[in-house]
Amino acid sequence: MTSVWKPEVVWSRPEEERAGTPLIVLFHGYMSHERDLIGLAPMLPPEFTLASVRAPHAIGPSFAWFGLASDLSYSTPEAVGAAADVVAWLDTVKDQFTSVTLLGFSMGMAMATSVARHRPAEIAAVVGLSGFAVEGENDFFDDDAVASAGLPLFWGRGDADPVITEAKIDFTNRWANAKTKLTKMKYANLAHSINPTEMGHVCEFLRQTVPLVAVEA
């Protein structure tokens, strides 16, 4: 029997307050950690419970979801394997929540979109920030099901981002336009980062897309 991956997770609310809320799973970028994106909590709708997950591969004091070369090349099977571990972990926690949304920054967007491409019917929405989608043929992705589900995807990036290559942007653009219900935003003078204007647009997208349950006082 294969054991389920048990990642380090930072939650935005205690366990006894999570049931019946919508969930956002946060995927950090390359050489970061689970305490990074949880800092977005004040800029996201308070109805959500946030779960910020640590990637499995240690790089010094930081972590990565899969190996990444300086030109952003990577192993598709390795990326898919990491996404499969996330799916298995999600199966252990998702039932207490009213919905599951995925948000990823940089390499974390590759993870968020990969998980959604495996089980699109179970994902309410995906938010990708300054990132890319995984290329390569494999049996894990079901892009026809993604298209049939009309998966809502918010993709935001800066026009001054020096990290994500044009090849990665081109593939992600073609895939997202063909297979998702895409909201695409590009921000002037934004590098490989996130700004308050973008997070305002993310909140608007989430409120329009994901049914929210009011949090009791």
Banded pLDDT at 154 (limits 50, 70, 90): very high
Is 2 a residue whose pLDDT tops 80? no
- Residues 12 and 34: beta-carbon distance below 8 Å: no
Instruction: Give me the residues paired with residue 9 across strands.
Output: 53
Give the tens place of pLDDT for each residue, 171-208.
999 999 999 999 999 999 999 999 999 999 999 999 99
Q: Which residues contact 33 (CB under 8 A, 6 or more apart)?
A: 54, 61, 62, 63
Q: What is the pLDDT of residue 151?
A: 98
- Residues 34 and 104: beta-carbon distance below 8 Å: no
pTM: 0.95
The beta-strand segments (E) located in the chain are: 9-11, 23-27, 49-53, 57-59, 62-64, 100-105, 125-129, 152-158, 181-187
Tokens 């070369």: give the residue: 69
Q: Which residues contact 217 (CB under 8 A, 6 or more apart)?
A: none
